[in-house]
Homo-oligomer: A and B are copies of this chain.
Amino acid sequence: MADGKTTASARRPSGQRRADAQRSIDRILDAGLRLYTSRPGVSVAEVAAAAGVGRVTLYGHFPSRTELAKALLERAFAETEAAWREVDTSGPADEALERVLREQWHLMERNRNLRDNIIGDVSPQWLRARHDPILKRIEDLITRGRDDGAFRTDLPLSWLITALYSLVHAASDEISAGRLTTGQAPDVLVASLRSLYRP
């Protein structure tokens, strides 16, 4: 009985430590996502300061900038994927694609600074693979458009998806570089993909 009590009370601080650690991780991710999406060039030290934790604590949870970047992206992607599940891709495929691009552009725009902050920390391959659930919905839409004659069939399906992925991110980067305005970008993108996908 005395033994049982000792064990239980020994466990409590450990449970407490786990809860503290989780709260500290949550604070880091909340502050990190807020900072990373607000402007480019954010340092890990700034994230620690904004989260109200020491750098040693931050590095204890995220040993490298890459680990922090991946955790922040996972959080951002959870939201993005939820938004994509709501997208209406019914009707003619070419009209649906244009609607999808215009309606979902705000997510690209919201995540543009996040992208600038993480682009040196994760590999392009990791980033592309992490887009797969979203690109699967685009793939289904392109496949339907190819079947009903709205989209070209002389180029590989995988290339049409990659071209979209590349041009969407290129348009976002052009805004960051000051070569496109946020107003121009969706129009330029839609016009480009319409030409590229036409049979």
Residues of A within 8 A of B (CB): 119-120, 123-125, 152, 154-156, 158-159, 162-163, 165-167, 169-171, 173-174, 177, 179-180, 184, 188, 191-192, 195-196, 198
CA gap between A159 and B195 in the complex, in Å: 14
Contacts of A196 in B (CB 8 A): 192, 195-196
Q: Which residue of B lies closest to A120 (CB)?
A: B123
Given contacts A158-B179, A165-B170, 18 further A-B contacts (CB under 8 A): A119-B123, A124-B173, A125-B177, A154-B191, A155-B191, A156-B179, A158-B180, A159-B174, A159-B188, A162-B170, A163-B167, A163-B170, A166-B166, A166-B167, A166-B169, A192-B196, A195-B196, A195-B198
CA gap between A172 and B86 in the complex, in Å: 33
Give chain A's interface secondary structure class. helix
Counting every copy of the chain, the complex holds 2
Contacts of A167 in B (CB 8 A): 163, 166-167
CA gap between A195 and B191 in the complex, in Å: 11
Contacts of A198 in B (CB 8 A): 195
CA gap between A5 and B132 in the complex, in Å: 72
CA gap between A37 and B106 in the complex, in Å: 39
